[in-house]
Structure 1
Amino acid sequence: MGSPENNQSKGGFFAAMTSGLSMFSNAMHRSVNGLLGYEGVEVINPEGGKEDAEEEAQRGRWKQEERDSYWKMMQKYIGSDVTSMVTLPVLIFEPMTMLQKMAELMEYAHLLDEADKCEDPYMRMAYASSWAMSVYFAYQRTWKPFNPILGETYEMVSHDGITFISEQVSHHPPMSAGHAENEHFTYDVTSKLRTKFLGNSLDVYPIGRTRVTLKRDGVVLDLVPPPTKVNNLIFGRTWVDSAGEMIMTNLTTGDKVVLYFQPCGWFGANRYEVDGYVYNAAEEPKILMTGKWSESMSYQPCDSEGEPLPGTELKEIWRVAETPPNDKFQFTYFAHKLNSFDTAPKKLLPSDSRLRPDRWALEKGDLSKAGASKSSLEERQRAEKRNREAKGDQFAPKWFDVTEEIAPTPWGDLEIYHFNGKYMEHRNAVDSSDAVDTVDVQSIEFNPWQYANLSE
């Protein structure tokens, strides 16, 4: 994503590959030589002290022999982009795909509604940038979402009047496209990730473009998010952090917001902290913004030196919603809503992520069935590719068209996909139909395939 979605946030890693290590000292002794010269060998708990870190290090999702085998396999990838070259076991996944994770940016979409209604051009940017920052609380989950199958989609219709559609438009490289809109805004994203595996950590670079159009005045906002780092992939407690600048630019007026995400220091120092300013087109600060992406964001008018104006006070603009206690996958209530068929439209597309048998089995706690289903889907995808190449066919997404535009990003060039509007025609036709659909939506077979009768 341009938004950190993704993405893969959103293929790619946006979540951890493992957490914890039993028999910590012996395994560290065996493996540390392979990590010399790379970041991330330390085992820390960003929330506490050394004793907490050592206690966390004794926990793990994998058995010791599985972890050792995994580490032996992964050593050859140090320094590489591992976006789509590694097949991972299902026990480190969460029951959600990257297409659904892209939709998590819609949780606090009411901030974009407020931005559209706002008369003050600088407060408009304060609302919009708070919306862009709000998703980072959800993106700190330490589980990996499923990579979408080529042609897979995700639909959402029952949230704040928003219609959302995302589609996996490319498999190599993994790329997703998304579109959302309601009466106040449209949102368009083309998302591709680049990663760098560093041994015990992973850098994730969001090569994406996000554009938001506020409908009242027609202003267009562009977003460049900071990179993300997944720490302690193999040794210690896995945690996700984003450090660097988030820049949102009003392409219509030249106003912009620069928010600096503080890097996490030892034992959690400065973690979550975000500070920055709303600037006018002349790059003069107009509004001071400060907060934590894990809690809340506040703003205050400031002078040309960036100091708060006399007689003004810091006011809260966003606060994170309450979360479920002790949730196994660290899901928010909104993440559970995205998995629910309550947010699905009538006559759900058979390519929808909710219908994936591996995701469904993992949600029900059946790891064996989830792993087998994941392998089956991946093999079917490979068979599709072989058949497509043999026929000389090209894959074409249904709801997005590739353009000739190549957009530069801080981490590489990006091919842009454009929402073609056909989904809205499809949805309007379904919603206006008088026919009663008696099919149980959960009984629909997952089907993103280009060829209907291709044998597995």
Structure 2
Amino acid sequence: MVVAMSSSEPTLKVAEGIVSSKAVLTSPLALESFASDQAEYKAPNIIQRIFSLFNKVRPGTDLTNFELPPLFNLPKSQLQCYGELVYCTSVGEDILSKCNKGDTQIERLLAVVAWSISTLRPLKFGVAPYNPVLGETHHVSRGSLNVLIEQVSHHPPISAVHATNDKENLELICCHHVVPKFYGASIEAIVNGKRRLKLLSHGETYVMNSPKLWIRVFPVPSTGWGGNVRIECKESGLEAQLCYKGTSFLGIGRNPRSLKGKILESSTLKPLYEIDGCWDSTVVAKEVKTGKTIVIYDAKEALSRLETPQVKDPNGLSASESAVVWGEVSQSILKKEWEKASKAKKAIEEKQRKDGRERKSRGETWVPKHFNLTHTKEQGWDCSPKAKCAPPAPIVASL
């Protein structure tokens, strides 16, 4: 366990880290955390507790507004998890910037495919991050990359991501609208919304979706990613199609983290490369014409040795920053003070409900601070940043 802190606040030692009463930042989800880090967050008798938790939930129920007790929470918000997908890679690795460095359109698409795969992280069964409150933000910089995330809607829950890198001349805009449903023996979370990666130097925009998250309670407790992902660039006329296999019902047979796919010309559907591998190890691309293979992604190189972000400017922390909003809850979870964590979490959730009632009584509608939020019947929910560039942040991640 690694915990970062804001040095301007009173601190206390917890396990191997130090916690601030103002901002609590915990270890990023990484390959090694699948076996170790997250185990520290798991409540005792987790399977029994999960069955009792969902005992009164009917199959097919939308779990969007379901509130988990702190026993089942990771000590971080979902916004922080979204941020880690963008700014947390191994020290010395910058997968996102590599997308802009390819000399040809096909090289850049292969790099974008690798970045898309890198956003999948192993999750631990039985624990989940906090549901962000309306207006919550997460703001982190890594070198010249600035990442700003905001919870722009609560019903339905929608998170918006804006990341810019002036040095590399790229921009990332994401709209995440997760709809989790309970199916008796499993939970399926569909991640609606698009990711748009703009390589401004090349005039290319790559539009992609996200795979589904599966959580199986019975017969074998497990988590996994599954479904189809399409990455399309209209400017180059190229696209990638990826299929994540996910877990089998009995948890045996195929590798639950395997993927297959292809890169092709959109207009002719002519295949150019075949993609094969596992998102938690290596992924290779084989050129159809020559049979030549190249490793396009190595998870161990990309997602090991991840360091916890640090608070560089405590005075610059916003009151809406995730690490501040949930600081007391996270601190209590890390100390396994479950009653205190529950009380602090309920206070946050009740404040959100109270603020909503007051806005309703005044006839006011919530307006996001950093994003414009739109909805159409055809496209669903979408977000666009109000500012051209995401500003430097008071929290920094190591290069």
TM-score interval w.r.t. the shorter chain?
0.7 to 0.9
Indicate the residue corresponding to 1:273 in structure 2.
Answer: 258
1:164 paired residue among 144, 147, 159: 147
- Aligned pair partner of 1:195 in 154, 161, 180: 180
1:93 to 73, 77, 80: 73
Specify whether residues 253 and 180 from structure 1 end up closer, same or farther in structure 2 by C-alpha distance, changes over 3 A only.
Answer: same
Give the whole-Å Cα distance in 2 for the aligned partners of 1:190 and 1:65.
Answer: 35
Secondary structure of 1:243 counterpart: strand
1:247 aligns with 2:230: yes
Q: 1:315 aligns with which of 294, 304, 327?
A: 294
Asked if 2 retains the 8 angstrom alpha-carbon contact of 1:260 and 1:274, the reply is yes
Once the 2 structures are TM-superposed, how far is the Cα of residue 63 of structure 1 from its aligned partner?
A: 7.5
- Is 1:259 matched with 2:225? no
1:222 to 207, 214, 232: 207
Deviation at 1:214, TM superposition (A): 0.6
Give CA deviations for 1:406-430 in whole Å, capped at 9, x if unaligned.
374xxxx522221001874xx46x9
TM-score (norm 2): 0.78
Greater helix share, structure number: 1
Equivalent residue number for residue 287 of structure 2: 301
Q: Are the counterparts in 2 of residues 142 and 240 from structure 1 also a CA contact under 8 Å?
A: no
1:377 pairs, out of 327, 348, 355, with 348
**Residues paired across the two proteins, number:** 345
In the alignment, structure 1 residue 132 sits paired with structure 2 residue 98: no
For 1:290 and 1:341, locate their aligned partners in 2 and report how far apart those are by CA, in whole Å.
Answer: 39
Identical amino acids, percent of aligned pairs? 23
Whether contact under 8 Å (1:273, 1:293) holds in the other structure is yes
1:341 maps to 311
**Deviation of 1:321 (Å):** 3.4
User: Secondary structure at the residue paired with 2:81?
Assistant: helix
| 2:133 alignment partner in structure 1 | 149
Q: Deviations over 1:169-199 (max 9, x none)?
A: 1111111111011133210011111222111
- The 8 Å contact of residues 195 and 205 in structure 1, kept in 2 or not, is answered as yes
Partner of 1:352: 321
State how far apart, in whole Å, the 1-side matches of 2:347 and 2:52 are. 23
Contact 1:406–1:414 at 8 Å: present in 2 too?
A: yes
Q: Which amino acid aligns with 2:287?
A: P
Q: Distance in 2 between the 1:123 and 1:300 partners?
A: 13
Give, in whole Å, the separation in 2 of the partners of 1:245 and 1:135: 15
Say which SS state the counterpart of residue 137 (structure 1) adopts.
Answer: coil
Q: Is the Cα–Cα contact under 8 Å of residues 177 and 381 in structure 2 kept in the other structure?
A: no
- Post-superposition shift, 1:299? 1.9
CA distance in 1, matches of 2:342, 2:372: 33
Q: Deviations over 1:21-74 (max 9, x none)?
A: xxxxxxxxxxxxxxxxxxxxxxxxxx9xxxxxxxxxxx9734798556424322
Cα displacement string for residues 205-250 of structure 1 (whole angstroms, at most 9, x for unaligned residues): 1111111101211200000222221111xx5653212222111001
Matched, 1:72 2:55: yes
Task: Tell me the CA shift for residue 254 of structure 1.
Answer: 2.2
Structure 1 pair 362/262, CA: closer, same or farther in 2 (3 Å)?
same
Secondary structure of the corresponding residue to residue 212 of structure 1: strand
Gaps of 5+ in 2: 1-28, 30-34, 36-41
The gaps in structure 1 that reach 5 residues or longer are 1-14, 16-46, 48-58, 304-308, 325-331, 432-440, 442-456
1:110 to partner: Cα distance: 2.4
Native 8 Å contact 1:155 1:345 kept in 2: no
Tell me the amino acid that sits aligned with residue 145 of structure 2.
Answer: I
